[in-house]
Structures are given as structure tokens and as C-alpha cells.
A and B are shown apart, each in its own frame.
Chain A
Amino acid sequence: MPAIVVEGLQRAFGEVFAVQGIDLAVDEGEIYGFLGPNGAGKTTTVRMLTTLLLPTGGQASVAGYDVVDEARQVRGSIGVALQEAALDPLMTGRELIRLQATLQGLPTAAGRKRADALLERVDLSGAADRRVGTYSGGMQRRLDLAAALVHEPRVLFLDEPTTGLDPVSRKTIWEEVRALNEDGTTVFLTTQYLEEADQLADNVGIIDSGLIVAEGTPESLKGEVGNPHVELLVGAGEIAEAERVCRELGRLLPPKDAKRVLLEVEHGAADIPRVVRALDEAGIGVESLELVRPTLDDVFVDKTGHHLEPEEKQEDEPAEDEEPTPA
């Protein structure tokens, strides 16, 4: 049974359609990556699916419940970690998780036990009694994730969970998401990071201007935009000869600069020896050679005509062993 089914979902704000009638289905136990640039409609979609915003058209069900008519059942089945971790800086981590347990209807003793276990799981036991305002960005995201898990939800919504985090904190969150998914949790993850969708998602939906422009597994989407290519860096004055040799081996792609030759190769790495032999026989000196596979950005460009370039706004991220400045 699909965990999330969306049919013709729309949301208009006055005359402006933030989401213009999207369809998607997410299977139970899947990680679905919802990829798109800022303002594409990702957060609006998540807010509708988590019952925080009423749709103005279409329908959607989450965990088998309609997001409008059975909103409370939906809320009982989902965990939500929204963009920009919505945490009270004046509460301690432990207070926040315990409050979340109460909100989810856990009895006091069970809530306390669960809070301790979750704080341990996200490696925040040592900081549990400190105010959230003193946490680093990565710690706040981990706390937010822990809070979303307090009632062991069937479906977990993560809205840009790693935006602004440094690579180490980002990887920690990824590992946690993978572990949750292995435990059977369905994850709906919005992101503007190509690598994140590529690394984590079983299926990816690409949204732009409120419309889903592509959907499928990362591999199938990348396969749709073409074969891998070999990027050759050759010496000055040898470009023309290198292009002539390569043209006999396959299709040349538009070069990035005057020192490189881009050759599409149908069989990926298996084609490299053939390329190297041909260049060597022609006496062309190769400074470097790299096999480049299509990325989700290539898919995005192919479908929308522009690049997906996230605004990189990295949060101040003290090292875990550092004492962050209190707020």
C-alpha cells in the first residue's frame, strides 16, 4: 500500500499557484526525495501533506488517511521536522522531547523513557539539559529529528533537514535517515541538494515552479538524459587532433573550455581502455582523464532549462567538542 498518494494537489495564494496540481505516490518503506530550488513548491507541498496548510485543489492521503478529512489521524501517523528546525531556544533538549511526547499522547513515564532513548540515539544525552539556544546547527537538527521520532511514526517528513549544515553534520543526518528507513519508516525528504537526493532517495521527484517535471529512481532519471562522458585534458595545440580521434570513437559534447574534450561513452568505464589506446596510438599526450556520469543537475537542466543551484547559507557550526556560545 502506498504511504503517500497525491492526486492533482494544488495550493494557490491569491492569484499565485505555489503548487499547480501535482501527482505522486510514495511506497511504504521508501525514501522519496523531493528535489527543487528555493520557491519551487517543496515546502508548500510538505505543509499540505502534514495538515499544516489546506490544499485549494486536488487530494492527498498519508498513511491511508485523507489530509483534509482525516487530518488528526494523519498527524498521529507522521513525524515532522520542518525547515529551519522550529525549536524553542529557551527550552532544554530534554524538555522539548518530553513536551513532544506529551503532544503525541504518550503517558508520562513512557514519554520520559522514550526521550532518554532518543537523546541517546542522536548523541545528545550530554547536552540534554542545556538550553537549545546553546546548541550548534547540527545539534539542533538532530534534536528536531529526535522530536519527530518520539511516537515512532510510520511516515517521516523532513523538510530540507541539512540545509546550511557543514558536511560532517550533513553526513550524520544522512546516516540517521538511512537507519530509520532500514527500520521500516517511510521518509519524504525535501532537499535542494542534488547529492542528498542521489545518496538517500529510492525515488526522486523533481519540482520546479509548482510542477513535478520528472520522477523516477536517480539512476533511471540520469539514464534519461544520456550516457556518461569522458573528460580529457590535453596539451595545448593537441585539441584539434584529440577531437578528430575522439570523433571516431563516439559523439563529442560541447567543450567546457579550450583545453578539454568531452566524449560521450555508451558503456561508461568499459570504454576507457579503447579511448586511451586510440589517443596513445595517435601520439596525443593526455594530462588527465575522468569519467563523468550524468548528475541529477543534468536531469534538472534537461527538464527545466536551468541549473539547480542551492543558496549556500551555512550555519555557524562549532565542532562537537567545542562549547558553542550561549544564545
Chain B
Amino acid sequence: MSNLAVSARVVRALGARSIRQTFRRPQLISPIVVFPTLLLAIQTGGAGAGIELPGFPPVQSFLQFMLAGSMMQAMMLAGNSGGIAFAVDIEMGFTDRLFAAPIPRFAIVLGRLAGTAALGLFASIWFFAIGLIFGAHIEGGVPGTLLSMALITASALAVGGIGAAIALRTGSASVVQGLFPLVLVVLFLSSAFFPQELMIEPAKTIAEYNPFSFIVEGVREPIIAGIDATQTLEAVAAIAGIVALGLILSARALRHRLRVG
């Protein structure tokens, strides 16, 4: 079997383990599903009239508008949960078992990221299902749905890369867990839950340059209007940037961990 084939099998096996681990540990799965679902229910129930505000983009319902934000939230928390689980592996010595195997060591990081990406996909399916059950119309149809799901999946991988880098660098689950509030700050300073046009300064300017705003708009557009090439490309570029950053930071943190033990 070639090295590449062995690495691919390892990535798949570790990705599968990562998914099982998340579903077997309630504290890892609940931030991905329960928290964003509750927030979606509260916001759509309490702030639904917001769509009447002047400047609010034309949408069928507030639920339709909010779906992308909830998926983003679930995706980012999946990345954070992935980082926590990786740090737990480091703390309990499980990564030593992996590092002592004759495989490229970056495959271990990729395995973790594959699991996080799969959880991102799961989160997008979950919220599309909720949206459809509660009457949200997906303007982009099946292609739009698939595009949004793909963007969320890729974003989970990107955010997971940052989480994995922090886990590798610190080896501490508490440190990664401590980033949880930061995830919410980053999201609230993007257009995830509120249209950028209706924000006030300085949040508006921050949201304008926040890469997660580009991603959320790329995910939202197929839901509320249909596929838009420009917004899709902007989302892809933002994801690519975060993926590159996550992989570079992960590679550096991995080297550091192997050097210091």
C-alpha cells in the first residue's frame, strides 16, 4: 500500500473516531446542536419583526435569514469542540499513541480536521432540516442547499485548523475551552445574526472586514435569494485564507510539540 493510501486510511479512521468521540461525549455535541438551536428558536421567536426594519434584506422570514447564522455558530463551535477534544487527547497521552505510529504526523491533524468538517456538514444538515420543517424556503433549491452545506463543511475544517493549532500549542483543553466566548464575539461582530447595513459603528466596520461575514453571506445568499457567484467566491476566498492560516499554525504547533515533547 502506498504512503498516500495509508495516510488516507489513517485520516479516515481518525476522522471516524473523532465523530464517534463527539457523539459519545455530550459536552462536545451539545454546543454544536443544542445551543445554536435554542438561540435560533429564541431569536426567531422574539425578534422576527426585525425583517420589517428599513434596510433589512428582502427575506421570506426571519428564520430563513437566521439559518446561515445558526449554521455558522454550530460550525464554529464544532471547530472549538474539535480543538477541545484534540487537547484532551494530548492531555491523556492518546496523541503519543498516534505519534508513535509510522505515519506522517500531519495525517493525525488532518484526521481530526476531517472529523470536524464532518460535524460541520452534520450541523448544516440539521439546520436545513429545521428550516424546512418550520417552513423556510430555500431560494437556491437543491444546488443552493448543497453549496451552503459545502461552504459550512469547508469552514468547519478551517476553524478546526485554528482549534487544532491552539490545542497542539498549549496541550490544554481548558485553554481551548476558554475560547468559547471569543467564538461568540467573532460571530456577533459579523453579519451572522444581523444585517451589516443595520449595524452601528464600530461593529459595522469590523463586520465589513470580518472574514466570517464573507462566509456567512456566501452561505446565506443561496438560502434567501439564490446562488451568487461573487458572494460565493468571496466566501471561498475567506475560507481558503482561514484554512491556510489554520494549517500553517497547526504545522508549526505540531513541530513545536514534537520538539518539546
A contact set with B: CB distance below 8 Å = 13, 44, 47, 50-54, 72-73, 75-76, 78, 80, 82, 84, 86-88, 90-91, 95, 99-100, 102-105, 107, 131, 147
Among residues of B, the one whose C-beta sits closest to the C-beta of A91 is: B17
Cβ–Cβ contact A50 & B17, under 8 A: no
* B73-81, B99-107, B139-147, B188-196 - interface stretch: B99-107
Asked if B1 CB lies within 8 Å of chain A CBs, one says yes
Chain A residues with Cβ below 8 Å from B25 are 90
Residue of A nearest to B100 (CB): A80
A99:B17 contact, CB within 8 angstroms: yes
From A47, A72, A82, A86, B102 is in contact (CB under 8 Å) with A72
The segment from B35-43, B89-97, B172-180, B230-238 found at the interface with A is B89-97
A86 engages B93 (CB within 8 Å) = yes
Q: Does B10 contact A (CB under 8 A)?
A: yes
CB of B202 within 8 Å of the partner chain: no
Q: For A84, what are the chain B residues with a Cβ–Cβ distance below 8 Å?
A: 93
List chain B residues, Cβ under 8 A from A91.
17, 20-21
Within 8 A of A (CB), among B1-25: 1, 6, 9-10, 13-14, 17, 20-21, 24-25
Nearest chain B CB to A48 CB, angstrom units: 9
Other A-B pairs beyond A82-B97, A103-B98, A104-B101, 10, CB < 8 Å? A13-B260, A44-B261, A50-B100, A52-B96, A82-B96, A82-B100, A86-B92, A88-B94, A104-B102, A147-B97
Is B184 an interface residue when CB atoms closer than 8 A count as contact?
no
A105's nearest neighbour on chain B, judged by CB, is B6
Contacts of B260 in A (CB 8 A): 13
Give residues in B with beta carbon < 8 Å to A.
1, 6, 9-10, 13-14, 17, 20-21, 24-25, 89, 92-94, 96-103, 258-261
**When the two chains form their complex, are residues A107 and B96 in contact, meaning their CB atoms are under 8 A apart?**
no
Residues of chain A within 8 A of B259, CB atoms compared: 54
- Shortest distance from the beta carbon of B2 to any chain A beta carbon, whole Å: 10
Closest residue on chain A to residue B95 by CB atoms: A86
Q: Tell me whether chain B's interface is mostly helix, strand or loop, or mixed.
A: helix
Chain A residues lying within 8 Å of B96, measured Cβ to Cβ, are: 52, 80, 82, 86
Closest 4 CB pairs of A and B: A86-B93, A103-B101, A76-B102, A53-B261
Q: Which residues of B contact A51 (CB under 8 A)?
A: 99-100
Q: How far is the CB of A169 from chain B (nearest CB, A)?
A: 20
Determine the distance from Cα of A95 to Cα of B97 in the docked complex, in whole angstroms: 14
- A48 — nearest CB in chain B belongs to which residue? B261
Bound form: Cα–Cα A50–B100 in Å: 7
The reply to whether A90 and B20 form a contact with Cβ atoms under 8 Å apart is: yes
Q: Which residue of A lies closest to B17 (CB)?
A: A99
Contact B9 A102 (CB under 8 A): yes
Instruction: Kindly state the separation between the CA atoms of A131 and B100 in the bound complex, as whole angstroms.
Output: 23
- Chain B nearest CB from A105 CB (Å) reads 5
Distance between Cα atoms of A105 and B94 in the complex (Å): 18
Q: Which residues of B contact A75 (CB under 8 A)?
A: 100-102
Q: Residues of B contacting A13 with CB < 8 Å? A: 260
Residues of A within 8 A of B10 (CB): 102-103
The minimal Cβ–Cβ distance linking B232 to chain A, given in whole angstroms, is 36
How far is A105 from B4 in the complex, measured between Cα atoms in Å?
11
Measured CA separation A104–B9 after assembly (Å) = 11
CA gap between A102 and B97 in the complex, in Å: 12
Q: What's the Cα separation between A86 and B260 when bound, in Å?
A: 19
A87 touches B100 (CB 8 A): no
Q: Which of A54, A87, A102 contacts B258 (CB 8 A)?
A: A54
Tell which of A54, A78, A90, A95 touches B100, judged by Cβ atoms closer than 8 Å. Answer: A78
B17 near A52: Cβ-Cβ < 8 Å: no
CA distance A80 to B93 in the complex (A): 12
Q: Which of B92, B96, B97, B258 has the most CB of A within 10 A?
A: B97
Cα separation A90 to B27 with both chains bound (whole Å): 13
Q: Which residues of B are found within 8 Å of A87, using beta-carbon distances?
A: 94
Bound Cα distance A76, B100 (Å): 9
Which single residue of chain A is at the shortest CB-CB distance from B25? A90
A131 to B21, CA, bound (A): 11
Residues of B within 8 Å of A73, CB to CB, are: 102
- Pairwise interchain contact A52-B102, C-beta atoms closer than 8 A: no
